[in-house]
Structure 1
């Protein structure tokens, strides 16, 4: 039986959704391709056909997660017309969204461990860091951020937010996590106000 492009796209979409659930729940190391294939109602061969390996499937899931995070950052930043508020809202959204349960393990814990630091950083540069750079570039061209090098500011802010998200992702006590997130967001606001 010949498969259409639509059938293929649906299979890939279903595999990504099921794999995301498995990697979120069990992590990469304990995520089983057999279980993913079974829950997606495909053969293990179909997983290999579309993604090449378990790591290839994980990479595709990570790219999906990062793409969704990037979309949410844009939506949050767009809630304001003020450039400084857009910057804060986008940065705030990154910290919150990256630490949500359905993103945290894939993006912050397993991502760097499975792909290695350099490949993980390259993916981050293509998504969240790119958005941050674009926002800072717009602000600089409109007369904000005078005397600040764009590349330095992008790397410093991105590094601070990644480190904050990694720190928050390790906190297991809900009350402590909530207070730490609030502390982090207040500090982020003061940090951004400091370069205003």
Structure 2
């Protein structure tokens, strides 16, 4: 295993410090109110060091956002993997996704800011790269056992993922996010139950 040079380690540590500081500031102040100078000061690095790793504030926000989404995808995958039956995997994944997006106030704020910070089209591209494959895999497993009541997995993947995202955003913006999360999760499970064909 190759050993990192001291310079490479410093770059990695600097990037990590910038991401950590940016994540906190974006969550506390919002994307529009946070400047690169603010991030540099909070990370205790120069402004040039921030720009070395990130071309502009939007790219910095994207890195913070995708880092959080990656961790969420891993959490969802771990929750699904605890079960053997495809239907149980899907329900566990749904619960983990809603818990992960709503329970963490910082990530909840990032989700709400993403369309403005990155643009709707870029958010869709990131969804296609990170979230859609996971949802599609769960639905394909369900279809493979004959438990899915529809044949159009492509359309169902898009619609289910869109519903998940909207549920997370709506619950996160509610006056009582935990309660709204529970209500949204109940509705999503009811929708999916209507598409489930239990094994004989």
TM-score, reference length from structure 1: 0.91
Aligned residue number for residue 56 of structure 2: 53
Residue 180 of structure 1 corresponds to: 180
Matched, 1:74 2:55: no
1:147 & 1:8 partners in 2: Cα distance? 49
Which residue is 1:88 aligned to? 91
CA distance in 2, matches of 1:60, 1:125: 16
Match of 2:169 among 163, 166, 169: 166
Bigger Cα displacement from structure 2, 91-100 vs 67-76: 91-100
What are the residue-to-residue correspondences of 1:20-169 with 2, within 5 Å?
Answer: 20-99=23-102, 100-106=104-110, 108-169=111-172
SS at match of 2:117: helix
Say if 2:149 and 2:195, in contact at 8 Å, map to a contact too: no
Q: Deviations over 1:17-58 (max 9, x none)?
A: 111111111110111221211121110111111101111111
Gaps of 5+ in 1: none
Q: What SS is found at the alignment partner of 1:4?
A: helix
| Matching residue of 1:195 | 195
Q: Distance in 1 between matches of 2:38 and 2:91?
A: 41
The aligned counterpart of 1:7 is 10
Give 1:105 shift: 1.4
| Runs (5+) with no aligned partner, structure 2 | none
- Which whole-Å CA distance do the structure 1 matches of 2:53 and 2:183 have between them? 43
Using the size of structure 2 for normalisation, the TM-score is 0.89
Aligned partners of 2:179 and 2:41: how far apart in 1?
40
Deviations 1:128-154 (A, max 9, x none): 221001111222233331542111110
Supply the distance in 2 between the matched residues of 1:54 and 1:178 (Cα, whole angstroms): 31
